[in-house]
Amino acid sequence: MNERIKLHDKVFKPMITNERIEKAIDEVAERMNRDYEGCTDTPVLLCILNGSIMFTAELMKRLSFNVELISMKLSSYVGTTSTGKIRQVMGMTGSVEGKRVIIVEDIVDTGNTIVDLQRIVKEKGATEVKICTMLLKPEVYHKDVKLDYVGMEIPNDFIVGFGLDYDEIGRNYRDIYVLDPDPDYHVTE
């Protein structure tokens, strides 16, 4: 994991190895398995597309209780910047009415999306809403919504890989890369 990658007009350098990501997912799954041990209902995992696909898939493999999987798609980024406005691109693919829901996000930064998601899920009739995120940027998260499961905390940098993108590319990388501020570095294409 020592190669830089180029996505569109930006260069990214290695930040978090896949091994470290997998360890964080193991820890989140262990906590979740303890919390839901012996549950007789079937909680819903709400995968927030497209960024959470890889995290949700890896997390599900590690869960020892039954879950139902549904998804929805929101958008708030243009390029490397959050617009601050959340747009629902695709509604929920199933019902959460009368169910316990675990929202699975790839990353929480400002928390605007999480606040909207929690509201939407409650309005749709969920009996309980928990928040699970692979990554948290604590220096910019100042919302009152409790994050129940956090894989790891990171600085407030723009990152790609393991589901995270820059203008829809870069999600496929197993590792996570951070925007490289070195303008003199060039990646051979």
Beta-strand pair 128-136/100-108: parallel
Token digits of residue 115:
């606040």
Active-site residue, 109 included: yes
Beta-strand pair 149-153/128-136: parallel
Burial of 143 by CB count in 10 Å (0-12 exposed, 13-18 middle, 19+ buried)?
middle
For CA atoms 21, 116, 81, 163, give the dihedral sign. positive
* From 106, 109, 165, 175, the catalytic residue: 109
For CA atoms 84, 88, 92, 93, give the dihedral sign. negative
Q: Which residues are part of the catalytic machinery? A: 109
